[in-house]
Amino acid sequence: MLQSALKFTHALLYQSVEDGDIVIDATVGNGNDTLLLADIVGPEGTVIGFDIQRDAISATQNRLNEADLNQRVQLIEAGHELVDSFSIKDSSIAAAVYNLGYLPKGDKSIITSPDTTIESLSKVLPLLKPGGLILIMVYYGHEGGAEEKEAVLSFAQSLPQKSYDVLQYAFINQKNSPPFLLAIEKK
């Protein structure tokens, strides 16, 4: 009945992203969200995906090619804090998705970091169109995860409520630090 944070995130994407929209996958990783987003934006839409790991980019590119979705996706081998280097217009983005932590089945020493995550979020906020969403899956069980969690929560809590709604969707009786969702909606 109650949806997991991941399923709830996907439901929000299906409800908010429309055919032809531009969206950002800040952390491509294994490409699961990239493929989902490419499906949702449709043939006229665009997904801009970032990852610092070449393996992630190439594996995702292969999956996109196999699914014949590669025309809709621009993959960039760079950190998402460089999002302002790619001429994305203000108020043009329907959604941006972040998965914090490390790449599942990848090198667990390569993790997102508080500084670059906050820098990236700060740069994406003006890119959102009204009603646009930033969806952050906060994994924090790994070393360094707690600090990033606190930094992102603090950042999100400080956003002015006249401009943004910030929702935390979290299962609070689970061991093993399950990921929770932070959803930021631009008004």
The footprint of its own copies (CB under 8 A) covers 1-2, 12, 15-16, 131, 133, 153, 156-161, 164-175, 183, 185
Q: Which of 100, 91, 61, 65 is nearest to 77 (CA)?
A: 61
Query: How far apart are alpha carbons 28 and 35 in whole angstroms?
Result: 10
Inter-helix orientation angle 5-16/32-41, to 10°: 20
CB of 177 to its own copies, least distance (A): 12
Q: Which of 88, 46, 82 is nearest to 64 (CA)?
A: 46
- Measured in degrees and rounded to the nearest 5, phi and psi for residue 75 equal -95, 135
CB of 77 to its own copies, least distance (A): 31
Those residues whose C-beta lies under 8 Å from the C-beta of residue 107, and which sit 6 or more positions away, are: 53
Query: How far apart are alpha carbons 110 and 94 in whole angstroms?
Result: 28
**Residue (82 or 159) nearer to its own copies, CB:** 159
Q: Which of 136, 132, 139 is nearest to 157 (CA)?
A: 136
**Residue (83 or 134) nearer to its own copies, CB:** 134
Query: How far apart are alpha carbons 132 and 150 in whole angstroms?
Result: 24
In three-state secondary structure terms, 39 is helix
CB of 36 to its own copies, least distance (A): 18
**Residue (113 or 168) nearer to its own copies, CB:** 168
CB of 94 to its own copies, least distance (A): 10
**Residue (64 or 100) nearer to its own copies, CB:** 100
**Residue (64 or 133) nearer to its own copies, CB:** 133
CB of 43 to its own copies, least distance (A): 24
**Residue (50 or 140) nearer to its own copies, CB:** 140
CB of 168 to its own copies, least distance (A): 5
